[in-house]
Amino acid sequence: MSCMEIVLKYGKGQMSAQIPPENLVGFVRAREVPVVPDELEAVKKALAEPIGSPPLREIIRQKKAKSAVVVVNDITRPTPYHVYLPALEEELKEVDEVTFMVATGLHRGHTEEENLAIFGDFPRRYRFINHDADGDLVYLGRLPHGSPLYVNRRVVEADLVVTTGVVVPHYMAGFAGGRKSILPGVAGRETIQGNHSMLVRPESAPGRLEGNPIHQEMLEAARRAGVDFILNAVTNEDKKIVAVVAGDLEEAWRQGVEVCRKVYTVPVAEQVDVVIAGVGGYPKDINLYQAQKGLENAAAAVKPGGTIILVAECPEGHGDEVFNEWMLAANSLQDIIDRIGVKFVMGGHKAYAIARVLKEKDCILVSNMDDGMVRDYFFTPAADLEEALAKVRAKYGPNYSALVMPEASATMAVLA
């Protein structure tokens, strides 16, 4: 019987391989739902009919807002700014001073070239500023779980705060979007570290909001920071918009979450020997730090002792110096797990998230990273998908069961 071809996004291109159909149980894909017929009109409609909030223009008039900060995502989170920004510009006409704050959290800041690539000509006409987690911050008291809340001063002191984003599953906050624009987006380092330290709790899980302490703190932080209005979308695997929500910080975002659940939560009948997980290409596979999200989601569908093939180009390598130091300093995966219990450090949290998966499952990493470094990170290197599948055959023989997750960073496999 002829083999089936698997094609996965890899950086800005793609990678393919052949697999016998008898090994392939199926694909874990986001549900196909209709995309909006006109993305700009969908955004304008959401702004005109906000959820749980007056329209943005009315808020501007009520507050007599002269200054506004619009919080925008960084390069690691593909967001439809080609339609967000023209629509928001119309709404913000009565505001004298509009600043765009790039919600870097603890990621690196954007270059001018990256801003132009992401936001079109808007950086030529408006001020775009990278958030600095160690920069000019305002203290807003302690959060429910004890962390001090520091937020970017420009955000706190603006007359109007609008946040933008996309709603996708998130490996520890339940879902991204909404309140995440503030924490971690424009929060201080100590605040982010305190919040993310709770990822060791079982309630901090993909798709979970109820009782999730990370989500609870993020929401409280956004309330205290004074978010006036949000604009979020749910996109499909091709980054096309399927729904737009705008309005109240929590109410509008929750509606986006419900759409996201329907699109990205995929039941699987049982765990398999092998999951072939594509991270989703650039920028989701820009580095290993980001690609970890695909590893987390794939793990749920793999038997204990099974194998994950993670396809992520990682042109920027590891992506974080602290993460790199934790991985290289460890003699075993247990070292990392023990270390996070002694002292939580941002960057170390990604090492921990990887270690808890690799303790139970093997992972073959298909990337352009150096083989030695990949092994130092407790992965098995493979130059391409064909080589990875050859390693699978060497482990299992011809009889293994496999699922393919083309967009593992966003898709949640849930045991039926």
**Residues belonging to the active site:** 107, 170
Nearest to 96 by CA among 127, 71, 117: 127
Question: Which residues pair with residue 163 across a beta bridge?
Answer: 71, 230
* DSSP state at residue 248: S
Measured CA angle at 195 (ends 190, 201), to 5 deg: 140
179, amino acid identity: R
Q: Is the peptide bond before 283 cis (omega within 30 degrees of 0)?
A: yes
On the CB side of 302, CA atoms within 13 Å amount to 27
CB 277 within 8 A of CB 310: yes
**CB within 8 A of 415, min separation 6: which ones?**
267, 268, 270, 271, 300, 301
The helix or strand, by DSSP H or E, that contains position 342, with its residue range, turns out to be helix 333-342
On the CB side of 296, CA atoms within 13 Å amount to 27
Per-residue tokens: 227: 């978010």
Per-residue tokens: 304: 């204990």
Residues in the chain: 416
Per-residue tokens: 53: 């909030």
**CB within 8 A of 2, min separation 6: which ones?**
21
CB 229 within 8 A of CB 53: yes
The helix or strand, by DSSP H or E, that contains position 134, with its residue range, turns out to be none
Query: CA 279, CA 301: separation in Å to the nearest integer?
Result: 15
Nearest to 291 by CA among 315, 307, 321, 271: 315
